[in-house]
Amino acid sequence: MKSLKTPPIFCCPPLLAGCLTGAEAASAATLFRVLGEPARLQLLSLIAAQPSGEVCACELVESLGLSQPTVSHHLKVMYEAGLLEKERRGTWIYYRIVQAQLVSLREVLG
């Protein structure tokens, strides 16, 4: 914090408002934080690598060295963040990537 007894002589004037509002920063940060986990990035990569664009959850459990509850947890985190959509077909649940969220993050990085 700047000292209270002296005016800002040596330092620069306050910045203009930045491009990102607090709310925008918060929502983008929530998505980035979801991506900030190697296991989740690999799950996304596995889904994206499929020509069908979807993968059943049991395949994802087998592909990483993680337990089934842990994979289920990561899928839930990404689903609730809007990065994945899921569809039940019989016993299995298929996950797909929601592109819109990734696109908005790319714009933040631009």
Partner DNA sequence: GACTCACATCGATATATGTCAATATAGAAA
Partner DNA sequence: TTTCTATATTGACATATATCGATGTGAGTC
List of residues contacting a second copy (CB under 8 A): 1-2, 10-12, 14-16, 18-20, 22, 25-26, 28-42, 45-46, 48-50, 55-56, 58-63, 67-68, 91-92, 102, 105-106, 108-110
State the Cα–Cα distance between residues 90 and 98, nearest whole angstrom. 22
**CA–CA dist 85, 48 (Å, integer):** 13
Please choose, from the candidates 110, 89, 105, the residue with its C-alpha nearest in 3D space to the C-alpha of residue 33. 105
Instruction: Pick out residues in 63-82 that bind DNA (CB under 7 A).
Output: 65-70, 72-77
Q: Are 98 and 81 in contact (CB under 8 A)?
A: no
Which of a second copy, DNA, none interacts with 80 (beta carbon under 5 to 8 A by kind)? none
Judged by CB under 7 A, the residue of 61, 102, 105, 108 near DNA is: 61
